[in-house]
Chain A
Amino acid sequence: MNKIADNRAWWLVLPVFILVAFSALIPLMTVVNYSVQDIFGPGSAYFVGTEWFEEVLGSDRLQDSLGRQFLFSGAVLAIQIPLGIGIALMMPTTGKRASLCLILLAIPLLIPWNVVGTIWQIFGRGDIGLFGWGLNQLGMDYNYTSSTVDAWLTVLLMDVWHWTPLVALLCYSGLRAIPEAFYQAAEIDRASNWAIFRYIQLPRLKSVLVIAVLLRFMDSFMIYTEPFVLTGGGPGSSTTFLSQTLTTMAIGQFDIGRAAAFSLIYFLIVLLVSWLFFTAITHLDRQK
């Protein structure tokens, strides 16, 4: 082996680097600058140091919406991951029925977020919505605009409807990648269905599941449009998640300094979680 170390190919990365600089680094630097100032308008900004950070960290508003956000993302993962695996396991493996299932599953994924919000807003209404009307006819006192529990249930149900197909499709592709020989060996050993799932399918789905968990966590952690359209964050602020709190602060109240500090903290949380997942994925790959 007589390889010449020639790293000039790295120059090809330069355009991407410049693009990232303008799309990410410069805005990030601007946000950091905003976060240490009180800005009233162009040309009238006052340096306030870490005041915004202290205020945001100590405010109930951030802590409450952060708590709600983690609860929501946790619930989303706890429901969608097992459900997605279950659906993938039940799906037909070959033939026309498989294609039909795939198409049916993919439909919710194709619908834009605000349309999903609108669909569920109408679906859940007590007077004209099938879901809300049906529940009320069954004698249940369901009203997502006035009851916190109902609002949460509706938002969760909407997210499950919208995004479980993604988990299911990922798991389905993972399951199809398992060689037939594994199942034949299991049959020879007279393994039960549970044993097949526990010792063949689940371990083989591991890397797909890590990606599914990462995607679902990030998406649900940054959710904005659907609950905004469905409940507007209410009743009260019971379904106001982090990004909506941030948007209200930045655009609604034009509180740029505080919103900048808030978004930096938000960014740090997302960065930490993404890094943890990234490390987990790369280490899974390395173990193979």
Chain B
Amino acid sequence: MLAWMNWTLPVAIFFAVIAAILLVMTVYEVVSPCSERKGFLPIATTRGDRLFIGLLTSAYIHLAWLGLTELSLYIALAVSVIWLAVLLRWG
């Protein structure tokens, strides 16, 4: 049934990680609901907002990395993970 989707392992891992993040965030939200607050971002955000902003900017970090440098994409991944953590904590 899924043959037409041409699944590859890296993409499967990518979506599994996204799904896992969403699952963890949902459980976290149920256990301790968050309230909107103002961090270093110019707008007040909830945890989910910050996750979305983090994921979107991470995508752009990866694209910029691919387009502008010849370095390994794993460095971009590391940068993105750190950025996501910083954003979720202090954003």
- Decide if B5 is an interface residue (CB 8 Å cutoff): yes
The docked-state distance in angstroms from the alpha carbon of A222 to that of B26 is: 34
- Those of B16-72 within 8 Å (CB) of chain A: 43, 52, 56, 59-60, 63, 66-67
Does A54 lie within 8 Å of B56, measured CB to CB?
A: no
- Those of A41-90 within 8 Å (CB) of chain B: 42, 45, 47, 49-50, 53-54, 57-58
The docked-state distance in angstroms from the alpha carbon of A268 to that of B62 is: 12
Does A29 lie within 8 Å of B67, measured CB to CB?
A: no
Does A268 lie within 8 Å of B60, measured CB to CB?
A: yes
The docked-state distance in angstroms from the alpha carbon of A268 to that of B4 is: 24
Does B56 lie within 8 Å of A268, measured CB to CB?
A: yes
Chain A 265-288 per-residue mask, 1 if CB under 8 angstroms from chain B, else 0: 100100110010001000100000
The docked-state distance in angstroms from the alpha carbon of A34 to that of B11 is: 10
Q: Chain A contact residues: over half helix, strand or loop, or mixed?
A: helix
The answer to whether A26 and B5 touch (CB under 8 A), given A268-B56, A272-B56, A283-B43, is yes
Question: Number of B residues whose C-beta is below 8 Å from A?
Answer: 19
Q: List 16 A-B contacts (CB under 8 A).
A: A26-B5, A29-B5, A29-B11, A29-B15, A33-B6, A36-B8, A36-B11, A39-B6, A53-B63, A57-B67, A265-B63, A268-B60, A268-B63, A272-B56, A272-B60, A279-B43
Does A54 lie within 8 Å of B6, measured CB to CB?
A: no
Chain B 72-90 per-residue mask, 1 if CB under 8 angstroms from chain A, else 0: 0100000000000000000
Does B67 lie within 8 Å of A32, measured CB to CB?
A: no
Query: Nearest CB to that of A32 among chain B residues?
Result: B11
- Give me the interface of B with A, judged by CB distance under 8 Å: 3-8, 10-11, 14-15, 43, 52, 56, 59-60, 63, 66-67, 73
The docked-state distance in angstroms from the alpha carbon of A49 to that of B74 is: 13
- Decide if A263 is an interface residue (CB 8 Å cutoff): no
Does B8 lie within 8 Å of A37, measured CB to CB?
A: yes
- Decide if A30 is an interface residue (CB 8 Å cutoff): yes
- Give me the interface of A with B, judged by CB distance under 8 Å: 26, 29-30, 32-34, 36-37, 39, 42, 45, 47, 49-50, 53-54, 57-58, 265, 268, 271-272, 275, 279, 283
Complex partner residue of A53 from B5, B7, B66, CB under 8 angstroms: B66
Q: How far is the CB of B53 from chain A (nearest CB, A)?
A: 8
Does B63 lie within 8 Å of A57, measured CB to CB?
A: yes
The docked-state distance in angstroms from the alpha carbon of A34 to that of B66 is: 18
Does B56 lie within 8 Å of A275, measured CB to CB?
A: yes
Complex contacts, B60 vs chain A, CB 8 Å:
268, 272
The docked-state distance in angstroms from the alpha carbon of A30 to that of B4 is: 8
The docked-state distance in angstroms from the alpha carbon of A50 to that of B3 is: 21
Complex partner residue of B6 from A26, A34, A53, A283, CB under 8 angstroms: A34
Q: How far is the CB of B30 from chain A (nearest CB, A)?
A: 10
The docked-state distance in angstroms from the alpha carbon of A27 to that of B28 is: 29
Query: Nearest CB to that of A57 among chain B residues?
Result: B67
Q: Which of B14, B63, B73 has the most CB of A within 10 A?
A: B63
